[in-house]
Structure 1
Amino acid sequence: MDFQRLFDILPYQQRCFPNKRALAIRQGVAWQFYSTAEAIRLTQRLSAGWLHLGLRKGDRVAILAERASPRWLLIDISLMQAGFIPVPIHSSCLAEELRYILKESGARYAVAANREALEKVLAERAQLPALEEAYCLQELPDYPGWEDLQREPTPAQQEQLQVLKAAIHEDDLATIVYTSGTAGEPKGVMLSHANIVSNIKAVISLVPVDRTKRALSFLPPSHIFERMANYAYLASGASIYYSHNPEETRLLLRSIKPHFFTAVPRLLERAYDSILERIGQLPAPMRWLGLWAVRTGEQYKDKGAQPAFYALQLALARLLVLRRWRRLLGGRVQGVLVGAAALQPRLGRLFSAAGIPIREGYGMTETSPVISFNRFEPGGARFGTVGIPLPGVEVRIGQHEEGPEGEIQVKGPGVMLGYYQRPEATQEAFTPDGWLRTGDRGQMVHKRFLQITGRQKDLFKTSNGKYIAPEEIEALLRLCPYIEDCLAIGARRPFVSALLLPQFELLYQWAQEEQIHWTAPQYMVHNPKVMDFLRQQVREANRHLPAYKQVGNIHLLYEPWTAASGTLTPTLKLRREWLAEKHQKDIDRIYEQGADLRG
């Protein structure tokens, strides 16, 4: 028995490796487990509930959640197996984005994970004529919820459901996933069952996950990366444990001891900053040892045997410091699959040196999503790259006037059907000869590894006529532990400048050591000593850049960049145009002051 459609995966698991703990989530102090058989039974009840509500084939239902859960996954399956179209939405999205997606998709029903998400939907209901009702997965006394969605299927409904399932072809539309909209309105990506299933089969053939493994899920299921990963875990027979919130995630890592989980680079960056913060609080001898272990880990090689002297240093660093990090993740982790944004190579080296294998990949919603990723077999990974294209996926690099780099273009079974109700945008997304334009710039290195160098639309030209990829500069600046985030700017300007968001916890430690009086962040960004210190950090980074790419001046900010504030997308990417517009006066002031940081 094989699976061709997403809803075939649960019966496939039941036939091949039935699991008594297929899905798990903690309720209070106890765990709630769903066996494969119980999961199938609940999807049948939910499908009967949708039929009872009068949904017809092709009708859309929105699902809002900040994190994945068994209920989210079961609702997803129950819709698709009856021929209905789930529209996952980030519950942290802005009100205008939520309104836009619900209106364009014409969702007849919405399911929200909690009261907060539900109230966001209800606040927009007056402007959504197609929306009939909203349900909440959190049990609330004043709103319909999980139990209200279920019906014990009658014999007639059971027969109807079998007919509906049989009529669904693998090339039929399975879901509409809206892009996070870093610029402009979100677009609804139409993905078929075959699109996503092809990605699942390619990934599980390359990742050593099986029925004996445990996976932890804590990213938004509205992002196609985490959603595909959940189905891949099911198809491999692994048990999926779900986390409610960040604090619980830290506890679950130690208690359930997962073998695999997915992450975004920003989470690893925060973990790194937390490690440095803790090291900075240690007594002097221990602080020196901790920093030495970090520096040693950052030199870890991704191919061949380590040089003898370095291997000795690494063994000592692991014995004294690094092995403790692996224990914080439960001690059994065999792979952390990282996507959605670029990972700093030094973090991949450092965590891998600590026995935490980091494997960075690359993809997009339009490709279901994985295009390439670093493998687990010897020689199959290179830090600073996004790995080798998946089997069946073709990648080519479009030419550009600025050397060997160019737009990454893709062909393969995971490429989308098109954008929902946007034929012109769909046509623009493809080259005349049928390759998907990813909008990302890159090149092939080490013969078969794909390296991302930036976004086509983010590439800008200074008034001196030089093309700049801001991601390269931003990644270099983020290597400084005192810089939390940054935005490089300079289109049609005489030099590159940057908005910097300091890492205030580490900056506080530095201020204590330097005996600088500390107040609130909004005042510290104007402190001359703090400004001089961070300007010196930028000068150090500039040493690694050619003159025309060097940052000439900076402006410090203090308000955190978050999805809730609109500065980041729900997948934690910078909203560049939004940030630049918000801080236009600060940017103008930078250029009035001129450049004085370049070498």
Structure 2
Amino acid sequence: MGQTVTRNFDVLEYALKEFPREDAIAGKKDGKWYTYSTKEYYKKAHQLAMGLMAMGLKRGDKVATVTTNRPEWSIADMGLAMGGFVHVPIYPTLGDDEYKYILNHAEVKIIIAGDKKLFQSMNPLANMIRGVIAVYTFEDVDGAKNYEEILSLGEANKDKFEEELVATKNDIKPKDLATLIYTSGTTGVPKGVMLSHENLVSNFVAHIKLHNLGKEHKALSFLPLCHVYERSMNYHFQLKGMGVYYVGNLAQIVSSIKEIKPHMFNSVPRLLEKVYDGFVAKGKELSGVKKKLYFWALRLTHHFEYNKKFGALMRMKIALADKLIYSKWRAALGGNITYIVSGGAALQPQIARVLGMAKLTTLEGYGLTETSPVIAVNNPLKNEMMIGTVGPILEGYDVKFAADGEILCKGPGVMMGYYKAPELTEEVIDRNGWFHTGDIGVLVDDKYLKITDRKKEIFKLSGGKYIAPQMIENKLKTSELIEQVMVIGANEKFASAIISPCFPILHDWAGEHKLHYENNEELIQLPEVINKLQKEVAKVNKTLGSHEQISRIRLVYEEWTPASGELSPTLKLRRNAVSVKYQHLINDIYSVGASK
């Protein structure tokens, strides 16, 4: 099979030949599931490619999709790949400035938006950008062109373009550019990661070898397909012959799991934390003996490790807990879950133990957009699993550690480079071809990769979304009331900020509003002051993507200076020093999570 699949669209050809199914890909509309057979999927992808050819698009032209998850995303993705076009998938939650930058920088010709709301965002932007020919939508939107029009155009021009499409498909090489994926830069300017067919294919062909699920099984896909992690797994599911059910609305995940009863899905720690919180909440609703039994079963999970041999008494306890409690957890997740893949941020070990004990095997992995993405992942087929690590290095990759512990890797998944930014590419791929991940790690037992730190300041929320704190801090500091600020939230559910106000201006403002206070410590505790600063933050939030917005703030009465240690001599924020000094405030902000 490895030889057969060397380009993205080969997955579809392979699935059609080896395991065609009625529900190759599926979505939900007006509360009902609808499916495409492998044959329909194959046909529509070809129509899309020919439709774009008929519109005059040339090989190498860029087409952007801006949508939540839906089966049509895959139809577009395969059609673009086989036509030799470059797919630029973009998050549906970005701010206008970022959309404009990406559409301009990538020289996008056509945009396909998901729904009415996204069309209303995209259409005015498209009118401002030279080179964008048209905006289409996946859903029916009044006054918008529907993507079905591209398919109809392809079908109508079949005689003219069918042979050209066959020739193009035959001519596409594994090393050709397949996609541009934009990731947040430290400075806030997104970087376009160029991934070839070989980059993507080498990666998912390696990770399909980690389990035995296949054509008898279904997968649920709800993490954004515009992110390389879900996209890679999307190819993986299809290459395995699994039916893929897409959920575009996160509020529908739980009901979809119950309806579809999937065998596998990908998650981020944030969602697994919610599952865990749900288990705990269930126990709190009980009383008496039932409640005691429930929390006994929950405590029992602390003993869980993969491949751990339990004694007879412990096995009996686990069997009892399974019958009374864990089986109900499995039922709540549809009853069929064999594997959950977790990536995007660190998973709390206790959550991995709870799920593992309940036979909801959770495979934690690690990678970056620039590595297509998986560098390491826990491997159930070889029983190479360790909680608290991201598992063994994936086949095809070499990993070594720099003197400071930074993880360096080499392999066919390492990107072609950053689009139009050779100097940025040189910063991360050295002369010997090693990609510098920016993450610090160690190998446990000479086998399991453990991530211990992030080299640079950019961080991820527990939902897997990146935050570039400097960019947000710079925007916040444009308020005359904010002198210094530090954005926090690594591995937490949301971003927050610790703010040292600009006291001379705040004193003036307080005087105008006839506020009484003895000193700065009292001043920052006044509800009117807190409210005023929250309004300043709210203004900035409007310019940010939804995941970047600051949810909570805490004000401090000290001014930050090089002398007091919060700033470096060149006035750069010393994040570690600030974190240590205000640990009590950080604990207060995230105390809900900390009390688990």
Kindly indicate whether the alpha-carbon contact (under 8 Å) linking 1:502 and 1:558 is maintained by their aligned counterparts in 2.
Answer: no
Structure 1 residues 301 and 367, CA gap change in structure 2 (3 angstroms): same
Post-superposition offset of 1:304: 2.8
Kindly indicate whether the alpha-carbon contact (under 8 Å) linking 1:181 and 1:569 is maintained by their aligned counterparts in 2.
Answer: no
Q: 1:270 aligns with which of 261, 274, 281?
A: 274
Report the Cα distance in structure 1 between the residues aligned to 2:325 and 2:554, rounded to whole angstroms.
45
Post-superposition offset of 1:567: 11
Q: In structure 1, list runs of 5 or more residues that go unmatched.
A: 401-405, 460-469, 479-484, 488-495, 505-556
Match of 1:432 in 2: 431
Structure 1 residues 568 and 257, CA gap change in structure 2 (3 angstroms): farther
Match of 1:463 in 2: none
Match of 1:419 in 2: 418
Post-superposition offset of 1:146: 2.4
Post-superposition offset of 1:80: 1.3
Report the Cα distance in structure 1 between the residues aligned to 2:25 and 2:490, rounded to whole angstroms.
42
Post-superposition offset of 1:90: 0.4
Report the Cα distance in structure 2 between the residues aligned to 1:445 and 1:566, rounded to whole angstroms.
44
Structure 1 residues 251 and 558, CA gap change in structure 2 (3 angstroms): farther
Match of 2:506 in 1: none
Match of 1:516 in 2: none
Structure 1 residues 584 and 107, CA gap change in structure 2 (3 angstroms): farther
Post-superposition offset of 1:583: 5.0
Post-superposition offset of 1:302: 1.8
Report the Cα distance in structure 1 between the residues aligned to 2:419 and 2:16, rounded to whole angstroms.
34
Report the Cα distance in structure 1 between the residues aligned to 2:379 and 2:491, rounded to whole angstroms.
34
Match of 1:90 in 2: 91
Give the SS at the match of 2:111: strand
Give the SS at the match of 2:210: coil
Match of 2:498 in 1: none
Kindly indicate whether the alpha-carbon contact (under 8 Å) linking 2:370 and 2:414 is maintained by their aligned counterparts in 1.
Answer: yes
Q: 1:230 aligns with which of 227, 230, 234?
A: 234
Q: In structure 2, list runs of 5 or more residues that go unmatched.
A: 470-485, 495-532, 561-565, 567-577, 586-596
Match of 1:260 in 2: 264
Match of 2:291 in 1: 287
| Worse-matched range after superposition: 26-35 or 128-137 | 26-35
Match of 1:339 in 2: 343
Give the SS at the match of 1:317: helix
Kindly indicate whether the alpha-carbon contact (under 8 Å) linking 1:43 and 1:75 is maintained by their aligned counterparts in 2.
Answer: yes
Kindly indicate whether the alpha-carbon contact (under 8 Å) linking 2:54 and 2:161 is maintained by their aligned counterparts in 1.
Answer: no
Structure 1 residues 158 and 184, CA gap change in structure 2 (3 angstroms): same
1:327-366 alignment runs, 5 A limit: 327-366=331-370
Match of 2:48 in 1: 46
Match of 1:60 in 2: 62
Calculate percent identity across the aligned residue pairs: 34
1:100-115 alignment runs, 5 A limit: 100-115=101-116
Match of 1:28 in 2: 30
Give the SS at the match of 1:457: coil
Report the Cα distance in structure 2 between the residues aligned to 1:567 and 1:28, rounded to whole angstroms.
32
Match of 2:77 in 1: 76
Q: Deviations over 1:310-352 (max 9, x none)?
A: 3333222222212111111111111001111111111111101
Kindly indicate whether the alpha-carbon contact (under 8 Å) linking 2:279 and 2:329 is maintained by their aligned counterparts in 1.
Answer: no
Report the Cα distance in structure 2 between the residues aligned to 1:116 and 1:497, rounded to whole angstroms.
29
Matched, 1:209 2:213: yes
Post-superposition offset of 1:7: 0.9
Q: Deviations over 1:280-315 (max 9, x none)?
A: 233254333322222211321222312444333322
Post-superposition offset of 1:77: 1.0
Q: In angstroms, what is the RMSD of aligned CA positions?
A: 3.4
Give the SS at the match of 2:27: strand
Matched, 1:37 2:39: yes
Match of 2:203 in 1: 199
Kindly indicate whether the alpha-carbon contact (under 8 Å) linking 2:270 and 2:493 is maintained by their aligned counterparts in 1.
Answer: no
Post-superposition offset of 1:149: 1.8
Q: Deviations over 1:333-379 (max 9, x none)?
A: 11001111111111111101111010000011011111110011353
Post-superposition offset of 1:569: 7.2
Report the Cα distance in structure 2 between the residues aligned to 1:90 and 1:168, rounded to whole angstroms.
27
Report the Cα distance in structure 1 between the residues aligned to 2:488 and 2:29, rounded to whole angstroms.
45
| Worse-matched range after superposition: 323-332 or 114-123 | 114-123
Q: Which amino acid aligns with 1:118?
A: F
Q: 1:16 aligns with which of 15, 18, 23?
A: 18
Report the Cα distance in structure 2 between the residues aligned to 1:70 and 1:594, rounded to whole angstroms.
49
* Length-normalised TM-score, structure 2: 0.78
Give the SS at the match of 1:205: helix
Q: 2:246 aligns with which of 234, 242, 261?
A: 242
Report the Cα distance in structure 2 between the residues aligned to 1:501 and 1:442, rounded to whole angstroms.
16
Q: Which amino acid aligns with 1:296?
A: L
Post-superposition offset of 1:397: 1.1
Kindly indicate whether the alpha-carbon contact (under 8 Å) linking 2:301 and 2:353 is maintained by their aligned counterparts in 1.
Answer: yes
Q: Which amino acid aligns with 2:95?
A: L
| Worse-matched range after superposition: 91-100 or 408-417 | 91-100
Q: Deviations over 1:460-487 (max 9, x none)?
A: xxxxxxxxxx99xx99xx9xxxxxx9x9
1:488-499 alignment runs, 5 A limit: none
Post-superposition offset of 1:174: 0.5
Q: Deviations over 1:501-547 (max 9, x none)?
A: 9999xxxxxxxxxxxxxxxxxxxxxxxxxxxxxxxxxxxxxxxxxxx
Report the Cα distance in structure 1 between the residues aligned to 2:534 and 2:331, rounded to whole angstroms.
34
Report the Cα distance in structure 2 between the residues aligned to 1:193 and 1:498, rounded to whole angstroms.
36
Report the Cα distance in structure 1 between the residues aligned to 2:267 and 2:491, rounded to whole angstroms.
22
Match of 1:371 in 2: 375
Match of 2:194 in 1: 190
Report the Cα distance in structure 1 between the residues aligned to 2:452 and 2:200, rounded to whole angstroms.
26
Matched, 1:456 2:446: no
Match of 2:314 in 1: 310
Post-superposition offset of 1:29: 4.9
1:128-167 alignment runs, 5 A limit: 128-150=129-151, 151=153, 152=155, 153-167=157-171
Structure 1 residues 450 and 418, CA gap change in structure 2 (3 angstroms): same
| Worse-matched range after superposition: 280-289 or 38-47 | 280-289
Report the Cα distance in structure 2 between the residues aligned to 1:97 and 1:13, rounded to whole angstroms.
36
Post-superposition offset of 1:249: 1.9
Q: Deviations over 1:447-468 (max 9, x none)?
A: 2000001210139xxxxxxxxx
Post-superposition offset of 1:44: 1.4
Kindly indicate whether the alpha-carbon contact (under 8 Å) linking 1:264 and 1:338 is maintained by their aligned counterparts in 2.
Answer: yes
Matched, 1:3 2:2: no
Kindly indicate whether the alpha-carbon contact (under 8 Å) linking 1:61 and 1:108 is maintained by their aligned counterparts in 2.
Answer: yes
Give the SS at the match of 1:298: helix
Match of 1:543 in 2: none
Q: Which amino acid aligns with 2:145?
A: P
Post-superposition offset of 1:596: 9.3
Matched, 1:127 2:95: no
Post-superposition offset of 1:498: 7.5
Matched, 1:443 2:449: no
Match of 1:99 in 2: 100
Match of 2:394 in 1: 390
Q: Which amino acid aligns with 2:22?
A: K
Post-superposition offset of 1:247: 3.3
Q: Which amino acid aligns with 1:54?
A: G
Post-superposition offset of 1:24: 1.6
Structure 1 residues 181 and 307, CA gap change in structure 2 (3 angstroms): farther
* Length-normalised TM-score, structure 1: 0.77
